[in-house]
């Protein structure tokens, strides 16, 4: 191999090494993330989104950390105070607490890798919910979704802050019981619905009867008032007629004869019988006069 060839090989090697050094010296950070740079294994600085330069010999990229929101779905079983199994399906929404350097250092170095953090987060959520559910009875759980979420957040907030994270939301999607318990709960609900319907029907029937009784009472009162009014008008008319006859020095027989004639006419027009009996005797007329006079005395009183 000649000297020229050796020089060419050395030159090519130098160019390749130079390109590698240049490649290792520059980096980019995507939007929504930050990069941790270390020097000889020790934290050096945090790089923000954009184009950057590092010493290729002493500095290296340790970890790229997303500061965007993240979600995980978890499924687990908890046991209530009355020993009922409850299956939960939940979605956890979390993110880094903020983009400050101290917070990013916690996210980067508190756990060996993301897998360990995810395991710690999932186990912490499960433990918080199991602890809450163990103090409640199975028939209470369905109405306590918000209380469960608040209990988990209260329990995890300090730990997550120490890890550099923030629990944004815990969404409990499903709460399922054993099939036997679900059937029992359905029967209880159906029984309560029937009881409520029967109660409503009974109240409606009672209200109807009360209204009918009130209507009958009012009708009776109005009927009585009508009869009394009619009797009052009749007695007043008869008294007035008798007073006019007396002032004109006429016999009461004229009034009686007129009343007797009108009665016969009304019965003949509206009656359905074939024979009509009237007491037209002198005694009958006398009784009628006395009754008319008695009406006049009552009216004056």
Q: How far apart are CA 239 and CA 30, in angstroms?
A: 115
Q: What angle do CA 7, 9, 14 make, to 5 degrees?
A: 95
H/E run at residue 62: strand 59-66
Compute the C-alpha angle 46/50/52, nearest 5°: 65
Residue 107 pLDDT: 92
For 223, the token pair is 């009927």
Report the pLDDT value the prediction gives residue 242, as an integer from 0 to 100.
63
The residues that bridge with 75 in the sheet, in sequence order, are 89
pLDDT for position 64: 92
3-state secondary structure of 200: helix
Read off the pTM. Answer: 0.55
Amino acid 203: pLDDT: 72
For the beta carbon of residue 156, count every other beta carbon within 10 angstroms: 22
Q: How far apart are CA 199 and CA 195, in angstroms?
A: 6
Tell me the CB-side half-sphere exposure of residue 253, using CA atoms within 13 A: 5
135 by DSSP, 3-state: which?
coil
Q: Report how far apart the first and last C-alpha atoms of the chain are (Å, whole number).
A: 159
CB 61 within 8 A of CB 37: yes
Strands 26-29 and 33-39: unpaired
User: In degrees rounded to 5, what are phi and psi of residue 268?
Assistant: -65, -35
**Structural domains in the chain plus CATH codes:** 3-65 (no CATH), 70-177 (3.30.479.30), 222-300 (no CATH)
Sign of CA dihedral 224, 226, 228, 231: negative
CA-CA distance, 60 to 31, in Å (whole number)?
20
Two tokens, residue 178:
């054993």
- pLDDT for 255 equals 59
Q: What is the pLDDT of residue 5?
A: 77
pLDDT at 192 (0 to 100): 63
Tell me the pLDDT of the chain (301 aa) as tens digits.
567 777 778 888 888 888 888 888 889 999 999 999 999 989 999 999 999 999 888 899 999 999 999 999 999 888 888 888 888 999 999 999 988 999 999 999 999 888 999 999 999 999 999 999 899 888 788 888 888 888 888 888 888 889 999 988 888 888 887 766 556 655 655 566 566 666 677 677 777 777 777 777 776 676 666 666 665 665 666 666 666 656 666 555 555 566 656 666 665 666 666 665 556 565 665 665 566 555 555 544 5
């Amino acid at each position: 191999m000649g000297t020229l060839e050796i020089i060419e090989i050395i030159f090519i090697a130098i160019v390749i090494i130079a390109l590698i050094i240049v490649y290792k010296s520059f980096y980019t950070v995507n939007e929504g993330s930050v990069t941790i740079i270390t020097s000889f294994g020790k934290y050096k600085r945090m790089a923000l989104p954009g184009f950057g330069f590092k010493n290729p010999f002493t500095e290296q990229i340790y970890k790229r950390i997303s500061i965007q929101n993240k979600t995980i779905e978890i499924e687990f079983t908890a046991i209530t105070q009355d020993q009922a199994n409850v299956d939960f399906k939940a979605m956890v929404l979390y993110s880094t607490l903020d983009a400050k350097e101290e917070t990013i250092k916690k996210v980067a170095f508190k756990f060996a890798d993301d897998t360990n953090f995810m395991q710690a987060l999932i186990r912490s959520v499960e433990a918080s919910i199991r602890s809450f559910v163990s103090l409640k009875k199975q028939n209470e759980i369905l109405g306590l979704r918000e209380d469960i979420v608040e209990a988990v957040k209260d329990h995890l907030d300090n730990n997550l802050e120490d890890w550099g994270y923030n629990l944004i939301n815990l969404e409990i999607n499903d709460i399922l019981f054993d099939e036997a318990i679900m059937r029992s709960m359905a029967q209880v609900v159906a029984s309560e619905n029937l009881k409520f319907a029967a109660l409503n029907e009974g109240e409606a029937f009672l209200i109807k009867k009360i209204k009918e009784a009130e209507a009958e009472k009012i009708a009776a009162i109005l009927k009585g008032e009508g009869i009394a009014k009619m009797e009052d008008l009749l007695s007043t008319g008869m008294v007035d007629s008798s007073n006019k006859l007396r002032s004109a020095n006429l016999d009461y027989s004229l009034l009686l004869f007129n009343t007797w004639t009108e009665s016969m006419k009304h019965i003949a027009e509206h009656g359905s019988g074939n024979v009509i009996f009237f007491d037209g005797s002198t005694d009958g007329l006398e009784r009628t006069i006395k009754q008319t006079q008695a009406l006049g005395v009552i009216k004056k009183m």
